[in-house]
Each structure stands twice: as structure tokens, then as C-alpha cells.
């Protein structure tokens, strides 16, 4: 399967949706033309009443004109409703087509962008775009191009009214530009503070137990409060600025409307226009300039929608991945060659020069002091973090050549901080796979040694765990997380500190789980600081300061570490390509 190239493939999903909705937007533009023409019905009716009905005193003419006006207004109402419905449907189309990509961008932002990604909320931006798509500000933009129609009618009445209308339009456009210039920096500040405020609230919600237990809740609330005060001050200043220009715009339009009456009255006195044209011209001028006033009044919402579009488009670009073809299921080996790892958002590597090979049926233990890069290695091996140099491969195929969902079927991963989801035990162990079977779920639970424990829960495998698995203790969450890692018999199983919350029985179950992975021809990587956990491993990798201290068969590595001086035992050795591996056969 070839990956397509070209400009179309470089578009983000949001651009493709805009392109696909082009026909609907053209239809809205056409409806807007007809609606704006029909908006002339009222002034023209008034003109006819003043100039024809009043002079002829013809009741049938008045009735006929009124019936015609009712029909035209009804038709205009239908077109207005259709126009709004089309724009609402366009907004929903955005959500349908971009929603999944926005979700992927939101959950993957922290992995792709590091700390910056924590403030990216594509789903919120998508909601804002959908709501703005049928707002009065967008409708005003569709009405604005028909301003020349109104000005043309004014010129038909008299050139002075047309010139007055054009001058008024230029002033209002100038006010719009002034609103943009005055609110640009304020809108950016409000957006940044709003994101920071939301991030603090979410952090407080996630860590409420720590904050409460350590007496930090009040101080954290104070931090949020100061950010909230800054947000409110910036938001108030921005609102005041926009309202200031909105009021000026509205007062100017009303003054201009009265000015049109005055000019019309003077022209009527000099018998250059009729009496009906006085009022009709004033109304037409006001209606023609109304979209500009609406744009000024809705400027803040429009700016926020524009920023939401830019953020969403940028987020979708950041997480875009090329199309990948299917690869055979791995059965032979896990390899890493010259791997360097730079955390997302950072510039310096935390690991470099890492090389290893793990054949089917083998297990590797990774040990080392805190901060040496063990967890970073785990994330690189399962593809959570991309490698900055070198490669991680399954059966020779670099893992970045796999489609993420397809790669996930061949990997079992138990991170240090086990997160379970609000669902049943069965759903969590089965990775929410719609095609999961009870047999496979039970097999994974038995392999993890947690089957009997699950049966003691109130509803067994149907027990709902609540948010983050709060129904279970830390050790129970870790065991259920281990069962999830083993579900589907993945080829590569990476366990990061898998026994940090386990007792002796849990340790024994963990050892048996590693033996099960090896017996079925998988490979296991166990990252730990407990020597008891490495009983089932065949090879040992010792890390320190982001580099390899020792690597090879477990017995050989342990013997080598005992022979080294204490200070030398923690110093990384040369990269794999520049040194002879301990044990000789490992690289």
C-alpha cells in the first residue's frame, strides 16, 4: 500500500471538511443574496404606501400590496430558517468528521508536545467552532457582501443618499479594523489565562487527595484564585474594549440613519425625491450597514473562533501520522540499536546509545538508580515516545512503521502509574475491545494471578471500577493492569515497576506471569528496583545516567557488578557499537 502524496494529503481533517462543505457554503451565500433582496420588501412597501396609496386613496391597492408583502416575508422567513439549518449542519459535519482526530490530538498532545500539550484542548476548540458556525457573527459575514445592493438602491433614490451610505460604511469598516487592533493582544491574553485556569482546576481535581491530605488545598485554591483574578481582569478589559467600539458603532449607525432622514427631508423639500423615499432610504441605509455593526458587536466571539480554528488546525497537524500498511505479527525478536530518547518538549536526551536484543521466549530485567532513564526506555520500547536516534524494532521492522492501533495488539504495557477507566473489570482487562471474549479476558486474568481476586468483587468481572479504578486498592489496580497488559497474548510485554504495590503473593504471581509470556514465545521487559523481581529474567540491563553500565546474561552481569568498585559500577560504559558486550553474544 503506497502512501499518497500531494497537497490534498497535507491538509488536516478540518481543511478537508471545509473543502467538502464548499457546496453547502455556496448555497448559504445564495440564500443570503435572496434574503437580502427580500429585506428590501419593507422599505419598498413603505415607499409604495406613501407615494401611491396615500395619493390614490386606493384600498384594493393597499390590500394587494400588503398580501404581497406577507408572501415575500414568509418566503424570506423560510430561507432564513434554511440558512440557519444549513450552517448548523455544517457545524455538526465538523464535529462528525473532525471529532475523532480532535480526540486523538487531545489525548496525544502531551506525548507529542510535552508540557505544552497539557494546555491544548482540541475538543473544546471544536465545540467553539461548531457553536460559532451558526452565530450572528457568521451570518453577518454572509450578509456583508450584499452591502453594494443596498447602496445601489440608495443611488437610485438620489446620489447624495448613496454617497452618505458609502461614507457610513467606510467609517464602520474603520471601526471594525480599530476593534481588531485594540482587542488582538487582549484576546490572546484571555485565551492563555483561560487555558492556565482550566489546567489548574483539572490538576486540582486529579490530585485532590494529596492536596487535602497534606493541607495544600487552600494554597492551591489561592493559586487558582490568583490566576482566575488575572483571567477575569483581562476578560473584563477585553469585553470593555469590544463593547466600547460596539456602542460607538451602534450610535454612529443610528445617527447616520437620522442623518439619512435629514438629507432625505432636504431633498424632498427641494422636490428631488418623494416623501416615501425619505423613510425608505433611511431604513435601507440602516439595514445595509447592520452586518458591519453586528461584526463589531460579535468581534470577541469571532476572534475566539478564529483562535480556536488556528489552535485546532495546529494540533491536528502536530499529531498527523502517515498511513501505514499492515505488517506480519512479530514472533522472533525485539531489538534496539543506538537508541537515544528525548522527552517530548525537551531538548536534551535522557537516554543515549542503548542497544539490546531479546529473542522470543526470553525476558530482560532493567535495573538502575532513580532517574537513570528506565521509564524512558520503557516508553521508547512500546512506542509511546519516539526515539530521537537509532531504532526500536520487532522482527526487524521499526515500530514507527506500524499503525498505532495495530502495534498495540502486539504490545502489553504496564506503566508505573496504573490508570484504569470507568468501566467494568472485563472491559478494562479486555482493553475495551468490542470483539473481546470472556475466555480471553479470563485467560489474561489467570495469567496475571488476579482471577480469584476478581471473583471476590461484588459483581465479579462486571464490577464497575469508577474513575481511575477508585473501587480497587493500589495493589489490585496494579494486578488488573497486569492482566490488561497480558490480554490477547501480545508478543512484547513491558512492565515498569510492576510490583511497587504488590505483596509477596503478588510478587509470586508476577513471576509466574513472566514465565507464561516466555513459555508462549513472547518477550518480556521488566523494569524494577527490586532484585526479587529479576528472578525470572534471562538477561540484565543496568542503566545509569542515561547510559548502559552493563548488559548480558543475568548471572554474568551480576558477577561483573560485584567485581567492580562501587564508584565504577554506576558509570555508563561506551555505546554498544564501541564496546564488547558482557556475555559476548548480546548487541
Q: Rounded CA gap, 107 and 112, in Å? A: 10
Residues 545, 560: Cα–Cα separation, whole Å: 19
pLDDT at 1: 34
Of 292, 365, 340, the C-alpha closest to 514 is 365
Which residues, including other chains, have CB under 8 Å from residue 161's CB and lie 6 or more apart?
A: 154, 155, 260, 263, 264, 267, 281, 285
Residue 442 placed within a domain:
no
pLDDT of 563 > 90? The answer is no
Q: Look at residue 71 and tell me whether its pLDDT is greater than 60.
A: yes
Q: Are residues 244 and 334 in the same domain?
A: no
Find cell 450610535 and name the residue. Answer: 251
For a pLDDT cut of 70, what percent of the chain falls above it? 89
Please, which pLDDT band fits residue 467 given cuts at 50, 70 and 90? confident
Q: According to the model, what pLDDT value does residue 5 have? A: 38
Sequence-ordered alpha helix ranges (H) in 49-132: 54-56, 59-113, 122-132
For residue 459, being part of any structural domain is answered with no
Residue 239 in domain? yes
Residues 287, 39 contacting (CB under 8 angstroms)? yes
Q: Is residue 484 part of a domain?
A: no
In this prediction, residue 222 carries a pLDDT of 87
Query: Are 190 and 107 found together in one domain?
Result: no
The predicted-structure confidence for 238-289, as pLDDT tens digits, reads as follows: 888 888 888 888 888 888 888 888 998 899 898 898 888 888 888 888 888 8
Do 257 and 362 belong to one domain?
no
Report whether pLDDT(441) > 70: yes
3-state SS track over 203-236 = HHHHCHHHHHHCCCHHHHHHHHHHHHHHHHHHHH
DSSP-derived letter for residue 271 is T
Q: CA–CA distance from 507 to each of 101, 292, 534 (Å)?
A: 40, 71, 11
The share of the chain scoring above pLDDT 90, in percent, equals: 22
405, 542: one domain: yes
The answer on 577 and 543 residing in a single domain is: yes
Query: Does pLDDT of 468 surpass 90?
Result: no
258 and 152 together in one domain:
yes
In this predicted structure, what is the pLDDT of residue 493? 94
Q: Please identify, among 67, 101, 135, the residue that sits at the C-terminal boundary of a domain.
A: 135
To the nearest whole number, what is the mean pLDDT of the chain? Answer: 82
Residue 459 neighbours by CB distance under 10 Å: 10
Residue 469 domain-assigned (yes or no): no
**Residue indicated by cell numbers 519516539:** 386
Domain boundary pick from 112, 135, 158 = 135
Residues 274 and 353 in one domain: no
State whether 160 and 272 are in the same domain.
yes
Say if residue 209's pLDDT is above 60.
Answer: yes
581 in a structural domain:
yes
Q: Which domain holds residue 340?
A: 330-410+537-587
| DSSP letter string, 369-410 | STTSSHHHHHHHHTTSS--SEEEEEETTEEGGGS-HHHHHTT
**Closest listed residue to residue 35, CA positions, set 145, 152, 132:** 145
Residue 83 lies in a domain: yes
pLDDT in the model for residue 583:
37
pLDDT reported for residue 10: 44
Angle separating helix axes 275-297 and 41-48, nearest 10 degrees: 160
User: Would 277 be classed as within a structural domain?
Assistant: yes
Read off the pLDDT band of 426 (50, 70, 90).
Answer: very high
* 194 C-beta neighbours (distance < 10 Å), count: 19
**Has residue 575 got a pLDDT over 50?**
no
State whether 244 and 272 are in the same domain. Answer: yes
- pLDDT for residue 115 is more than 70: no
List the Cα angle 449/450/456 in 5-degree steps: 140
Give the residue from 244, 277, 297 where a domain finishes: 297
The CATH number of residue 231's host domain is 1.20.1560.10
Domain count, the chain: 3
Cα–Cα distance between 493 and 365 in angstroms, integer? Answer: 12
Query: In this structure, are residues 119 and 234 in contact, taking their beta carbons and an 8 Å threshold?
Result: no
Confidence of residue 370 (pLDDT cuts 50, 70, 90): confident
Same domain, 235 and 116: no
Compute the CA torsion angle 244, 141, 11, 193 (nearest 10 deg). Answer: 20
d(CA 511, CA 449): 10
Task: Give the DSSP letter of residue 570.
Answer: G
Question: CB-hemisphere CA count at 13 Å for 68?
Answer: 15
Please check whether residue 494 is in contact with residue 537, taking contact to mean a CB–CB distance below 8 angstroms.
no
CATH number at residue 337: 3.40.50.300
Q: In which element (H, E) is residue 555 found?
A: helix 554-563
Tell me: do 213 and 288 sit in the same domain.
Answer: yes
Residues 13 and 81 in one domain: yes
Amino acid at each position: 500500500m503506497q502512501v499518497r502524496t500531494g497537497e490534498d494529503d497535507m491538509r488536516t481533517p478540518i481543511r478537508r471538511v471545509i473543502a467538502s462543505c464548499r457546496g453547502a457554503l455556496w448555497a448559504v451565500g445564495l440564500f443570503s443574496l435572496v434574503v437580502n433582496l427580500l429585506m428590501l420588501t419593507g422599505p419598498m412597501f413603505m415607499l409604495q404606501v406613501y407615494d401611491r396609496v396615500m395619493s390614490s386613496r386606493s384600498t384594493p391597492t393597499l390590500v394587494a400590496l400588503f398580501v404581497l408583502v406577507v408572501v415575500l416575508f414568509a418566503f424570506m422567513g423560510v430561507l432564513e430558517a434554511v440558512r440557519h439549518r444549513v450552517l448548523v449542519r455544517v457545524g455538526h459535519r465538523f464535529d462528525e468528521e473532525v471529532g475523532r482526530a480532535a480526540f486523538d490530538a487531545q489525548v496525544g498532545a502531551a506525548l507529542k508536545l510535552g508540557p505544552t500539550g497539557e494546555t491544548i484542548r482540541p475538543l473544546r476548540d471544536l465545540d467553539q467552532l461548531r457553536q460559532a458556525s451558526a452565530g450572528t457573527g457568521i451570518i453577518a459575514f454572509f450578509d456583508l457582501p450584499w452591502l453594494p445592493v443596498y447602496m445601489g438602491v440608495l443611488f437610485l433614490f438620489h446620489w447624495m443618499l448613496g454617497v452618505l451610505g458609502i461614507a457610513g460604511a467606510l467609517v464602520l469598516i474603520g471601526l471594525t479594523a480599530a476593534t481588531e487592533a485594540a482587542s488582538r493582544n487582549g484576546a490572546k491574553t484571555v485565551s492563555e489565562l483561560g487555558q492556565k485556569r482550566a489546567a489548574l482546576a483539572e490538576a486540582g481535581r486529579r490530585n485532590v487527595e494529596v492536596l487535602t491530605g497534606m493541607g495544600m488545598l487552600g494554597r492551591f485554591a489561592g493559586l487558582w484564585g490568583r490566576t482566575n483574578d488575572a483571567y477575569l481582569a483581562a476578560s473584563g478589559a477585553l469585553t470593555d474594549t469590544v463593547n466600547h467600539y460596539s456602542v460607538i458603532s451602534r450610535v454612529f449607525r443610528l445617527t447616520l440613519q437620522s442623518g439619512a432622514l435629514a438629507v432625505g427631508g432636504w431633498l424632498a423639500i427641494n422636490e428631488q425625491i418623494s416623501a416615501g423615499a425619505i423613510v425608505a432610504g433611511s431604513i435601507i441605509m440602516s439595514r445595509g450597514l447592520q452586518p458591519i455593526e453586528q461584526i463589531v458587536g460579535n468581534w470577541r466571539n469571532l476572534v475566539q473562533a478564529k483562535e480556536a480554528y488556528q489552535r485546532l488546525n495546529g494540533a491536528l497537524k502536530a499529531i498527523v501520522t502517515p498511513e501505514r500498511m499492515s505488517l506480519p505479527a512479530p514472533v522472533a525478536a525485539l531489538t534496539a540499536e543506538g537508541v537515544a530518547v528525548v522527552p517530548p518538549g525537551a531538548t536534551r536526551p535522557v537516554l543515549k546509545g542503548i542497544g539490546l536484543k531479546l529473542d522470543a521466549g526470553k525476558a530482560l530485567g532493567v535495573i538502575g538508580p532513580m532517574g537513570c532513564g528506565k521509564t524512558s526506555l520503557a516508553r521508547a520500547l512500546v512506542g509511546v515516545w519516539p526515539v530521537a536516534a537509532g531504532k526500536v524494532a520487532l522482527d526487524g521492522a521499526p515500530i514507527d512503521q506500524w499503525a498505532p492501533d495495530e502495534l498495540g495488539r502486539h504490545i502489553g504495557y504496564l506503566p508505573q502509574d496504573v490508570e484504569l477507566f470507568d468501566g467494568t473489570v472485563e472491559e478494562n482487562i479486555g482493553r475495551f475491545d468490542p470483539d473481546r471474549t470472556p475466555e480471553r479476558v479470563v485467560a489474561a486474568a489467570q495469567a496475571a494471578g488476579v482471577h480469584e481476586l476478581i471473583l471476590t468483587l461484588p459483581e465479579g468481572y462486571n464490577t464497575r471500577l469508577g474513575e481511575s479504578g477508585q473501587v480497587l486498592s493500589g495493589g489490585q489496580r496494579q494486578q488488573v493492569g497486569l492482566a490488561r497488559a497480558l490480554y490477547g497474548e501480545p508478543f512484547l510485554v513491558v512492565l515498569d515497576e510492576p510490583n511497587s504495590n504488590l505483596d509477596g503473593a503478588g510478587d509470586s504471581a508476577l513471576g509466574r506471569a513472566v514465565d507464561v509470556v516466555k513459555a508462549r514465545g513472547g518477550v518480556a521487559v521488566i523494569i524494577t528496583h527490586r532484585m526479587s523481581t529479576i528472578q525470572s529474567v534471562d538477561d540484565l540491563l543496568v542503566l545509569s545516567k542515561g547510559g548502559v553500565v552493563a548488559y548480558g546474561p543475568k548471572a554474568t552481569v551480576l558477577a561483573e557488578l560485584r567485581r567492580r568498585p562501587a564508584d565504577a559500577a554506576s558509570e555508563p560504559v561506551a555505546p554498544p557499537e564501541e564496546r564488547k558486550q558482557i556475555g559476548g553474544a548480546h548487541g
